[in-house]
Amino acid sequence: LRKSMQIELKRLQTETGITFIFVTHDQEEALTMSDRIAVMHAGSIRQIGPPREIYDHPAERFVADFIGDTNFLPVKIITAQGSEAQVELGSGNRVAARLNNAHNGGDVTTLAVRPEHARVVPEADGLMTGRLSNLVYFGTDTHYHVDLDDGIRFVVRMQNNTDMARVAAQGDRIGVTFPAGVGQVLRD
């Protein structure tokens, strides 16, 4: 649906208080028009929740991959308690991550990190390091494609601004970092 139609449908739903069930394969449409989303695969519901929860805290790889762009990193669980885990990245560095399913220390699993939650930094400041293989300027933001030293391709999406200095050039060695708690441990 066009944006104006999406806005109009959302307004009508809010004004009338009527429950709408909207079926779509369009991720953006689902995120913008919904109060709750049910992500389905092969006839079964994989996760139900508000759009922000589905996007920021996917429970499993299918949901993370289906809704939005995601980086997947193999990690080892160091400690797991409640909704928090300490994970070890392929670089050997450790970072706090969100946990919404049962994992134990020593488990090897997958960490999802959204491209907009990560930053390109000088190599010495990175949680992970690698070579900038490509950068794509989109006007509002730039996508940095990094070939990490452990062989994983990682994409960083950084918003552009007028005073932004040159971050890096293709071929440069760089670091990639993200804040503690933004990575989501997945149920593979």
Closest C-alpha among 119, 134, 133 to residue 175: 119
CA distance 143 to 127: 18
pLDDT value at position 42?
Answer: 93
pLDDT of residue 9: 81
Tokens 């429970």 appear where? 59
The domain limits of the chain are 1-68, 115-177
- Minimal CA–CA distance to 185: which of 116, 114, 112, 127? 112
10-residue mean pLDDT profile of the chain (188 residues): values are 76 85 82 88 94 92 92 95 93 94 83 96 96 92 96 95 74 96 90
| CATH of region 115-177 | 2.40.50.140
What is the chain's length? 188
Burial of 81 (0-12, 13-18, 19+ CB in 10 A): exposed
Residues 30, 33: Cα–Cα separation, whole Å: 6
pLDDT of residue 163: 62
Taken in order 119, 116, 74, 50, the sign of the CA dihedral is positive
Tell me what pLDDT residue 34 has. Answer: 86
pLDDT of residue 152: 96
Question: What is the predicted pLDDT for the residue at 27?
Answer: 81
